[in-house]
Amino acid sequence: MIIVMSRQAPEAYIQAVIAKIRQAGLSEHISKGAEHTIIGAVGDERSLLVEWFETMPGVERAMRVVREYRIVSREIHPEDSIVQVRGRPFGGQVVQIIAGPPAVESEQQMQESAVLVKDNGAALLYAGVFKQYASPYAFQGLGVLGLEYLQQAGLTQALPVVAELADISMLEVLLQQGIDVIQIGARSMHNVELLKEVGRLNKPVILKRGVSATLSEWLMAAEYIAAGGNHNIIFCESGIRSFESSYRHTLDIAAIPFLKRETHLPVIAAPSQAAGKAWLVPALAKAALAAGADGLILNVHPQPAKALCEADQVLSPAAFSDLLAELRKLAPILGRSL
């Protein structure tokens, strides 16, 4: 069972609810978000009655849990949630574009990339700093130095920045650099300890779907973050593994409306990463937008032919500009804006 406390509920009211749960032989899990405190009754909830809690002072509503994922479910939060990133809302009427190269390669490359992103009206700057590949001989990124280049490029163009966290030991470095959004990559979606750590922060998190993860597993990964108190979560569909070998992964378009129905949190898509081929990106980007995506992550590079990794998937400056122009025409037809 989930008990949602009212915004101004004092600690005494919260403790009274906890005592009621314990009296029934269950334990509690408390999640304190920016607006509400949510108390979950852990155990066999059949011994509890909703009416016991809804009449208690400070309780906004109580409900039985049908799904394993509770905090991120629409069952306890029917309205859409908006995740703010320095004034850029994710989950509202505006579709947000996150763009940048697959990896930080040099200071100059990042400065040029930031100009491209800003001049084309994208909202956030992204680039990989700790790259993870199956081959140890592939370009692994510039690490902390790349993080500095990324942050400086964002500051120069007044763009919030997104950086991936792949190792708990690097979390403090990202925080010290003032990264605006932490991304949990597809390879790290099942890293429970990593999810718990970002759950303790009050910072937006983009949670990418693992290439072999079911939708339920993806939602449960988000639940780990939310259970820690951080409800600033943005889901990102970035492709799943299938038998098809003509492109890297299959962008699961159906996952977007499914998640929009299951969760109140925003959902975006990463067509560049899924396709692995730049010429497929415009079609997939439009399809994701039509399916209800609240934003897109697009790879663009000042000189695609010189990209040190994933060159096949990056858009050229001209292709990037053309795509955003097309998306701006499509968005109003769907009741959105860009």
**pLDDT of 75:** 77
Q: pLDDT (tens digit, 9 = 90+) per residue, 27-48?
A: 888 887 767 788 988 877 777 8
For residues 251 and 244, what is the distance between their CA atoms, to the nearest angstrom?
A: 12
DSSP summary character for residue 300: B
179 pLDDT above the threshold of 90: yes
**According to CATH, what is the number of the domain 2-63?**
3.30.70.1140
CB burial of residue 179 (10 Å; 0-12, 13-18, 19+): buried
6 pLDDT above the threshold of 90: no
For residues 112 and 149, what is the distance between their CA atoms, to the nearest angstrom?
A: 11
Its CATH architecture, for the domain 83-333, is: Alpha-Beta Barrel (3.20)
> In the structure encoding, which two tokens stand for residue 64, read together?
């039985």
304 pLDDT above the threshold of 90: yes
| CA neighbor of 184 nearest in space, from 235, 253, 258, 220 | 235
Q: pLDDT (tens digit, 9 = 90+) per residue, 147-166?
A: 999 999 999 999 999 999 98
Which residues of the chain does CATH 3.20.20.70 include? 83-333
For residues 283 and 279, what is the distance between their CA atoms, to the nearest angstrom?
A: 8
Given a contact cutoff of 8 angstroms between Cβ atoms, the answer to whether 238 and 274 are in contact is yes
For residues 336 and 287, what is the distance between their CA atoms, to the nearest angstrom?
A: 14
Which residues of the chain does CATH 3.30.70.1140 include? 2-63
Strands (E), 136-252: 161-164, 181-184, 205-208, 233-237
Q: pLDDT (tens digit, 9 = 90+) per residue, 66-88?
A: 667 788 988 778 889 999 999 99
pTM for this one?
0.84
For residues 162 and 281, what is the distance between their CA atoms, to the nearest angstrom?
A: 20
